[in-house]
Amino acid sequence: MSTVPGFPYRLIATDLDGTLLRSDETISRRTRDALAAATAAGAAHIVVTGRAVPWTRHILNDLGYRGLAVCGQGAQLYHAGEGRLLTSVTLDRQLAGLALAKIEAEVGPLYLAASRDGLDGDVLVGPGYAVQGTLPATPFTDAADLWTAPLNKLYIQHPTLGDDELAEIATRAAGGFVTVVVAGAGIVELLPLGLSKATGLSLAARRLGLKAADTLAFGDMPNDIPMFGWAARGVAMANAHEELKAIADEVTSSNEEDGIAVVLERLLP
């Protein structure tokens, strides 16, 4: 592994929700200082989030973040300093419609939401779908509205099934058409087939001249598993999903208890 003086990794990849962000969507001073110290030592910091750019930009602005960010579960590579999308992968809407039909044939009607592509793409939310947190969303009543513009992803919820059970059934029914991930509480997503955070992170790292062997990754949910598989070291938060903890190299403190800072401070000279 190539290193920089005083710090053993050249790239720090952090998820946002449940990882870098506390439950009130703020980042502690301790964690900010630890990241600043690591970047001063020569490491690059990349945000790698399931949120699409419109739901991520305000956080990056608050951080004074000017570099690359991987958004939309790897679908979007965003340059925060330039305010532009460098790459964007969209969901094949015909395949997505077929996937939904196959899942609903197994579990009955789903509650739906969708993330439209682009720097200012709306998140459309249908009847019954419970949006997590206070992020902006646009309601729709006609399911045909979902398919009128390019999408990064679909969100699905079920009136009685839990996230893990819904994701398992969706993968079994439609895994040949879309990738299914659990990205948070109440957040089961349908993505372009084969897309993951590792896809976007590897692309971002390559632009920076860095490799998997240079990378320390932090996360909390099953959608972070591919990123942990790609990075040299994966650190799960104490509040992480058990599936991620099972494959992590280390479990740190929770997002509320500066888990990222705990690890970085230990590694800093």
Q: pLDDT tens digits, residue range 124-166?
A: 999 999 987 777 899 999 989 899 999 999 999 999 999 999 9
Mean confidence (pLDDT) of the chain: 94
What mean pLDDT do residues 252-266 have?
A: 98
pLDDT in tens, 209-223: 999 999 999 999 999
- Strand (E) or helix (H) holding 247: helix 242-247
Torsion of CA 112, 123, 55, 210, to 10 degrees: 80
Terminal-to-terminal C-alpha distance of the chain: 18
C-alpha pair distances (Å), 165 with each of 18, 47, 107, 158, 200: 21, 28, 10, 10, 27
Whether the per-residue pLDDT at 5 is higher than 70: the answer is: no
Number of CB atoms found within 10 A of residue 96's CB: 23
Question: Using CB atoms within 10 A of its CB, is residue 213 exposed (0-12), middle (13-18) or buried (19+)?
Answer: middle
Whether the per-residue pLDDT at 4 is higher than 50: the answer is: no
What mean pLDDT do residues 189-198 have?
A: 97
- Model confidence at 3, pLDDT cuts 50, 70, 90, reads very low
What mean pLDDT do residues 68-81 have?
A: 96
| pTM attached to this predicted model | 0.93
The answer to whether the CB of 269 falls within 8 A of the CB of 41 is: yes
What mean pLDDT do residues 3-11 have?
A: 78
* 3-class SS of residue 8: coil
Question: Using CB atoms within 10 A of its CB, is residue 252 exposed (0-12), middle (13-18) or buried (19+)?
Answer: buried
